[in-house]
Amino acid sequence: MRERLPARAATVVDDYERHLASERGLSEHTVRAYVGDVVSMLAFLHGLDGSEDADSTDVVDSGAESDGAGFEGAESDGAAFDGADSGGARADGPATASGDDTAGEPDGLGGLDIEVLRSWLAQQRGEGHSRTTLGRRAASARTFTAWAADRGLLATDPGLRLAAPKAHRRLPGVLRQEQAADVLGASASGAEQEDPVALRDHALLEMLYATGMRVAELCAVDVDDADLDSRLVRVFGKGSKERMVPFGLPAERALRGWLDTARGRLVTASSGPALFLGARGGRIDQRTVRRVVHDAVESVPGAAGMGPHGLRHTAATHLLEGGADLRSVQELLGHATLSTTQLYTHLTVERLKAIHDRTHPRAQ
């Protein structure tokens, strides 16, 4: 669909993509999602069929939080798409796909106004997209129109008037503290055989649970980023933001076992400085980490199936249950906004309610 955009609109998309990647330093996946939404929106503006773009995927996978680092202005006021009809078309219709922009509209954005934005989202709603997806795409549109207005490509910013339905935020599944202990105990038993992959798996599980790191952050950690004596690891989060995250004695022991005994047995010419390596010696990839976490959690009876993000949720929940304050947890997890961290307070309350309902004699 991007290739079918009028040339001037395609140039705007190219400039926007460079802005996201170079000036804002967003991840490749986030840039792809932003650009996919903009392509879909501009395709609708220019009357192209099948405006749904293949690259317009959710920024985060199942269970992942949107913490504001990707989509600024993502808070919505819960309003519906005022002025949009179910069919998604404007009263006067979007521009026809003639291949050229209207004269006097050198930027390819002529006609992009609040009615087009609302109609585009209404079309998405008619196609059955979830409230979460609609909210994300509305936020993406607002970010683009703000950039375009700042660059002088739009006379005014129509995104300022764009609202989207507030997404239903599902509480993620987490491990109970004893279940987390069982998962790590099982991986420690496997590591006792000193197989290099088993030692690696135990170390990465301990680090994920100890630090609450995102899977991409874990994969990007280099050997020199981990200070075992101080029990601190340097993490580069969304937008290349750097933070220092502490970890405990069990994680330190697991890391030492991996570094002293096993990493050298997997090192190849392609290893570089990566802390965690794949079986062939290259930097470990996210798919491998997800498989390791899923298999480890699945081995514990009664544990909810989850991947690395589930361990992140689990770490945050256990910190709060242990008395940590929200600001500290926000800093540890690298959340851009406190509102994301507050999700975990709701989670702990729900767990307390479940315990009360199960144990109190007058709960029912």
| Residue from 46, 125, 200, 335 carrying the catalytic annotation | 335
Instruction: Please give the Cα distance from 248 to 129 (Å, whole number).
Output: 42
Active site (annotated) includes residue 238 = yes
Among 167, 118, 165, which Cα is nearest to 141's? 118
**In which element (H, E) is residue 243 found?**
strand 242-246
The number of CA neighbours under 13 Å toward the Cβ of 54 is 3
Instruction: Please give the Cα distance from 284 to 237 (Å, whole number).
Output: 17
Active site (annotated) includes residue 344 = yes
For 233, the 3-state DSSP assignment is strand
List the beta bridge partners of residue 246: 232
| Residue from 90, 309, 313, 318 carrying the catalytic annotation | 309
Could you identify the residue written with the tokens 């207005």?
149
The token pair at 128 is 């059955």
Q: Crossing angle, helix 286-298 and helix 177-191, to 10 degrees?
A: 110
Active site (annotated) includes residue 214 = yes
Among 58, 41, 60, which Cα is nearest to 1's? 41
Active site (annotated) includes residue 309 = yes
Active site (annotated) includes residue 34 = no
Residues 6+ apart with CB under 8 A from 355: none
| Residue from 90, 238, 263, 318 carrying the catalytic annotation | 238
Q: Identify whether the C-beta of residue 170 lies closer than 8 Å to the C-beta of residue 134.
A: no
Among 184, 192, 186, 204, which Cα is nearest to 278's? 204
Instruction: Please give the Cα distance from 345 to 226 (Å, whole number).
Output: 30
Which residues have a catalytic role annotated? 214, 238, 309, 312, 335, 344
